[in-house]
Structure 1
Amino acid sequence: MNKKIKKICFLLAFTVFTNHLYAQESFIKDISYPYLEKLIATAKKNYPEVKLRQSQVNAAKSTYNQTKFAWLDGLTASYIYSPQNSINLATPTIFKGYQLALSLSIGQLLKNPSATHVAKENYKIAEYQQSEYLLNIEAQVKRFYFAYLEAQAELRLRSNAVLDAEGAVKQLKYAFQKGETTFQIYNEQLNSLYNQNSFKVQAELATFTAKTNLEELLGTKLEEIK
């Protein structure tokens, strides 16, 4: 094998080696926990399901507050007016003038503690469900954020691999035109460039998909969250 062929083989081996190095790239260094907290706060503020849970809590609380005073529904008030100068022989009264009468439904009074207890438990259930959902959406935002960073890292890797493959193709094309390498080697590098471009397109799609998933939870564009 002459020196020129060896040089070409070294170039191909170097391309494979650098692609392997790119594959070791980690997205962990890109994680910003303060920014992640902003994303979580934004999702809790904007996502419709969060607002729905809060409305359920408010409704349950309102019902509970109403039942605490529901015993008043069994309370009725009336008044009797007995003129000062009149004498009622059928139903004689001691008091003259206006008299206030109050009556309380025993059934309503006995039923109210049970209804209040049920309303209180429903209020607690609504609060627990809200807390559970807030934890779920926080975990979901984290998963989508990490998936987005991973997709970005993969896209950088594929973009660098395309650049390397393009550089190798240019050199091999020049070497092939000068008769310093074979068409087979040149064609293999062309196929490699095609594959790298295909991987890059897939990485771009994965990045946009991950970004869309995250923005769906946030209710706004990532660019608007600083």
Structure 2
Amino acid sequence: MKRLNRHTFLLLPLLLLPLFFASAQEVDYNRVIRPKGQTGDDVAERLVQLAWENYPRNKAVQAQVQIAKEDVTKMRWDWLNRIQATGNINEFTLQGQGAQPIDGGRQLFYPRYNFSISLSPGMLIAMPAETRKAKQNLKIAEHTVNEQKLLMRNMVLQLYQDYLMSKQLLEIETRAMETITTEYELQEERFRQGKVMLQDYTATTNTYLGQQRARLQAESAFIKSKYALEEIIGVPLESVL
């Protein structure tokens, strides 16, 4: 038992090592959505790129990042609002030394310009805190953009997969329809000639009608999957394929 525990203790770091490497990996969000012109012939990547460029929600989250950046810049210079400058414009300040001295040789309304800075202990604490808050809001906005990239990529790839599957199913149902149509027409001719029983002809007819229904359902699913994908990418699918 002691030997087993010892071996387990020695193997434990080796078992945990992949977990440390896995946790150290970070997502390169610049590669989640490939830059324009770098998708090559990969249709799926092109669809993801188009969706990111055209879907309104993506533009909204990117706009939030710009707003957050503006807020950070604003907070960095907010202390300038505490500085005040005033000037005295009157006959004495305009005439300078030529004005009549008053009050023991000193002129009133001097100096011409007054500068003041209004700060309080609360401001000294609040201003840095507001700046940090603005920076955190910027990080949140950037994380929201990255999250939207992952969601958009997943959504587009799933919709594209649904489109491909529905297209294949439609092709299968179409070929089956062609085969059953041939059998139905042949059976119908035989029935007219009295070579098959009504029961057999009815069974073939029901199979034919059932296949018609299956093909129509497959066609409807295909069209809907196409519309769903076009809703996200913002352009006709034919312009991409």
Scaled by the length of structure 2, what TM-score is found? Answer: 0.70
Classify the secondary structure of the residue corresponding to 2:42: helix
Residue 54 of structure 2 is aligned with which of 8, 31, 46? 46
* Matched residue, 1:120: 135
The residue matched to 2:50 in structure 1 has which SS?
helix
Q: What displacement does 1:165 show?
A: 0.6
1:105 is aligned to: 118
Distance 1:55 1:45 in 2: 13
Aligned-partner SS, 2:85: strand
Pairwise CA RMSD = 2.7
Partner of 2:187: 172
Q: How does 1:68-107 map to 2 (within 5 A)?
A: 68-78=76-86, 83=96, 89=104, 101-107=114-120
- Cα distance in structure 2, aligned partners of 1:202 and 1:57: 44
Deviations 1:82-126 (A, max 9, x none): 94575854979xxxx977653222234443211111111111111
Distance in 1 between residues matched to 2:41 and 2:143, nearest whole Å: 26
Structure 1, unpaired ranges of 5+: 1-31
Provide closer, same or farther for how the CA distance between residues 112 and 90 of structure 1 changes in structure 2, counting only shifts above 3 A. Answer: farther
**Contact 1:158–1:200 under 8 Å retained in 2:** yes
Identity among equivalent positions (%) equals 28
How far apart, CA to CA, are the structure 1 residues paired with 2:103 and 2:113? Answer: 18
1:177-221 Cα shifts (integer Å, max 9, x gaps): 444432222221111110000000001110111111111111111
Q: Which residue of 1 aligns with 2:150?
A: 135
Residues in 2 aligned to 1:145 and 1:33: alpha-carbon distance in whole angstroms: 15
Distance 1:103-1:211 versus aligned 2 partners, 3 A rule: same
What is the rounded CA distance, in whole Å, between the counterparts of 1:213 and 1:55 in structure 2?
A: 25
Runs of 4+ residues over 6 Å off in structure 1: none
Q: TM-score, normalised by structure 1?
A: 0.74
Alignment of 1:1-226 (within 5 A): 34-78=42-86, 83=96, 89=104, 101-107=114-120, 108-226=123-241
Q: Tell me by how many angstroms 1:78 deviates.
A: 4.1
Contact between 1:148 and 1:211, CA under 8 Å: does it hold in 2? yes
Secondary structure, counterpart of 1:102 in structure 2: strand
For the structure 1 residues 66 and 113, does the alpha-carbon distance in structure 2 shift closer, same or farther, using more than 3 Å as the test? same
Secondary structure of 1:76's counterpart equals strand
Counterpart of 1:72, as a letter, is L
Letter in 1 for 2:160: Y
